[in-house]
Structure formats: C-alpha cells, structure tokens
Amino acid sequence: MKQRQLGTSGLNVSELGLGCMGMSFGYGNQPIKSDAIKLIQHAHTQGVTFFDTAECYGPFTNEEIVGEAVKPFREQVVIATKFGFKNGVVEQGVDSRPASIRKMVDASLKRLKTDYIDLLYQHRVDPDVPMEEVAGTVKDLVQEGKVKHLGLSEAGVDAIRSAHSVFPVTAIQSEYSLWWREPEQDIFPVLEELGIGFVPFSPLGKGFLTGTIDNKTEFADDDFRNLVPRFSVEARQANQALVDLLTQIATQKEATNAQVALAWILAQKPWIAPIPGTTKTHRLEENVAAAQVSLTSTELAMIEKAIADIDIVGDRYPAHLQKRINR
Ligand SMILES: NC(=O)c1ccc[n+]([C@@H]2O[C@H](COP(=O)([O-])OP(=O)(O)OC[C@H]3O[C@@H](n4cnc5c(N)ncnc54)[C@H](OP(=O)(O)O)[C@@H]3O)[C@@H](O)[C@H]2O)c1
C-alpha cells in the first residue's frame, strides 16, 4: 500500500490505517483477544502500517492487543495511542495534567510492549490545562525518547495553534466522512498552513455508510450506537438517502460502499490517512482494497453536487459526550 506523510512531519504511514477501538470498546460483538491479534497481523500482511488505539479503549485492553500483535514487526509500524481521560476512563472526564500524562505514557509503554510511542494524541482538550503545558510535557517525553510525535484529537483551531507554538503537532485526529465534514471549514485551512496531517476517525460513519445498517438493524446492548442520535431509527431512515447515493456510485465503479467512502476521503487531501475500524478479516481486505479505487474529478464533483441536496439527520454524539468536546 502507498504511504502518506502526515503533514510535513516526516511521519509516514500507510494511506489507510486500522482503527482498533472496536476490538474491545464502543461496538458490540467484540472478538476474543487471539482473533483480534490475528486480524491486526493480517492487516500488516495487507500493507497496513498505521494502528490506532487509546488507553481508554477497554479501558487498557486495546493497547495490550495492539502491543502483542505488532511485537514481531514493531519497527515497521506506527503505533498511535491517546491519553486524556481521568484514570483512562471516559466517564470520569478529561485529565491532561502533566503528571497524569507522564503516568499514562509509562503505563501505555508497558501495555504496548514497546519503548516508544510513534504518535501520542491528547484524546480531548482539557479546559483546565493550558495547551502549552500539554505540548511542553509531550516535548519533554520526546526528548526522553518515549514519544516520537504529538497529535491532538477533536481539538479546535486555538488549541492547535497554542500547542503547535510549543512543539510541532504532527496530526489532528477528528471525525470526518461523507456525513461529517465540519473539519473542512476551520480545521483544514490551519492544518494546511501549519503543515499538520489529518487522521479521520469513523470514516465509514461508524458503519452506516457501508450500507449494511438500516432502520431495522438492532445493535447489541453494549453498542455505543444505541445512544447516538444519528443512529435513532428515524435518523437511519432519513439518512438512507446518502447510503443510496453511495450505492449508486459503488455500482458504477464496481466497488463497494465502504470503498467509495474511503476513496472519497483519500481524494480530499494528500496529507489525510483515515483509520477505518473492523473486527472482520473480509471487511479488512475490502477496506484495504479501497486504496485501489480512485474517483475522477467528474465523479467527485457529482458526489459534491448530490450530497448538497441531502440533509443528514441526528447529532453525531449524545449530548453528554458532545459536551466533552472542549475546543
Ligand atoms: N479520537 C477519537 O475520539 C475516536 C473516536 C472514535 C473512533 N476513533 C478511532 O477511529 C477508528 C475508526 O472509527 P470507528 O470504528 O468509530 O468507525 P468506522 O471505521 O467508521 O466504522 C466502524 C464500523 O463499521 C463496520 N465496518 C467496517 N468495515 C466495514 C465494511 N467494509 N462493511 C461493512 N461494515 C464495516 C465495523 O463493523 P465490524 O467490526 O463488524 O466490521 C464497525 O462497526 C476507531 O477504531 C478508533 O481507533 C477515534
């Protein structure tokens, strides 16, 4: 698979990464540990060199899975992980105090079975800790050799600029896909200006854009999508128009919806590397093959025109989690 550089940082990653969250957090029907490890190792044989995890996925177990899986080829891959929730637990709220970041990094290194983290993100901005202090702490960790690059997740323009003034930010990770394009407005121009890369999460719209979910789909009890307004039965029914558009393009291209959704993202900027998540080998292969699907400028313009007429219904997060996106 082709590589992309995240901004001007010098950090190269496979143009499609693998989001590992769903292997132990967020969605229902999680695989057993040995299957998750096999899946990550299979991804590597398919050319994937960019693996995304976080201390809060599980919590903690996801980093263990990733660490064990990539151990045989550690030097060939980029591990991205995240700190920033109190005790690693999302429900406890944010915590980016310098001492907490240091403690987390030491614990993550152990779980990841490595002595360096390639890309360390702050998972959410902590309104009680200045970004300069967060970036300064990561800068010290870089000087100590424990971390290679700084990233921020869902940060806003001011937070990005403040952190970058202290230590170069390599990547911003935020939600981005055909049904959530907000980063194009304020974030992309700043990333372009500062030479920062972009890592879209939920690039398949948490599965919805693939066309395998409809208004009759029932999620497992522990599946986060039960709480997401955009996944209410009414919203799914209304948002089917976008899936229908994707299906129409996919049919013309002899591709799948997931492949078109990923190819569309790859076509937006050369410094973007999405991290679709899956727990299934056949879907992993399908997603990886999206790197072979290219959309012409005519097709991209047609998509642009068609989606302008589609109103997406429902918030992307439940209200209590939306509040946690401090920018
Ligand atoms: N920074 C943050 O705050 C944040 C937030 C959310 C996610 N993330 C990261 O981003 C990664 C990706 O995001 P995501 O997992 O939320 O959403 P996603 O990649 O948009 O979608 C994942 C969902 O789509 C399904 N899927 C994947 N490929 C498919 C295919 N080809 N056909 C049909 N269904 C398919 C998966 O189910 P199966 O497993 O059944 O295939 C899973 O339910 C995560 O793993 C995580 O690492 C970060």
Q: CA 300 to CA 178: how far, in whole Å?
A: 12
Out of 57, 275, 278, mutate this one to test ligand 1's pocket (max ligand atoms within 8 Å of CB): namely 278
Active site residue 57: yes
Pocket of ligand 1 (CB under 6 A): 19-22, 27, 52, 153-154, 173, 201-207, 210, 212, 258, 275-280, 283, 286-287
Calculate the alpha carbon distances from 23 to 30, 37, 63 in Å: 5, 9, 10
Ligand 1 centroid from CA 22, angstroms: 7
User: Per the structure block, which two tokens stand in for 21?
Assistant: 């969250």
* 238 DSSP assignment: H
pTM strictly above 0.85: yes
Tell me, what DSSP letter sits at residue 268?
A: T
Q: Give pLDDT, residue 324.
A: 66
30, amino acid identity: Q
Indicate which atom in ligand 1 lies nearest the CA of residue 279.
39
- Of 15, 32, 14, 13, whose CA–CA distance to 23 is shortest? 32
Angle (CA) 291-294-295 rounded to 5° is: 140
- Contact in structure between 170 and 149 (CB atoms under 8 Å): yes
Q: What is the DSSP string of 277-291?
A: B-S-HHHHHHHHGGG
327 residues of the chain, pLDDT tens digit each: 999 999 999 999 999 999 999 999 999 999 999 999 999 999 999 999 999 999 999 999 999 999 999 999 999 999 999 999 999 999 999 999 999 999 999 999 999 999 999 999 999 999 999 999 999 999 999 999 999 999 999 999 999 999 999 999 999 999 999 999 999 999 999 999 999 999 999 999 999 999 999 999 999 999 999 999 999 999 999 999 999 999 999 999 999 999 999 999 999 999 999 999 999 999 999 999 999 999 999 999 999 999 999 999 999 999 887 766 767
Q: Which of 57, 116, 121, 176 is catalytic?
A: 57
Residue burial 213-233, b: 16+ Cβ < 10 Å; e: rest: beeeeebeeebbbeebebbbe
Whether a cis peptide bond, with omega within 30° of 0, leads into 229 is no
What is the reported pLDDT for 327? 72
Closest ligand 1 atom, residue 153 Cα: 1
Instruction: Answer for the pair 229, 318: CB distance below 8 angstroms, yes or no.
Output: yes
Task: Give the mutation target among 204, 223, 272 for probing the ligand 1 site: most ligand atoms within 8 A of CB.
Answer: 204
Residue 108, token pair as written in the block: 């993550």
Give Cβ neighbours of residue 307 (< 8 Å, ≥ 6 apart).
Answer: 178, 242, 245
Angle at 153 between CA 226 and CA 30, to 5 degrees: 40
DSSP state of 241: H
Q: How far, in Å, CA of 155 to CA of 49, rounded?
A: 25
Instruction: Please give the number of the atom of ligand 1 that sits closest to the Cα of 52.
Output: 47
Q: Specify whether the CB–CB gap between 207 and 213 falls below 8 A.
A: yes
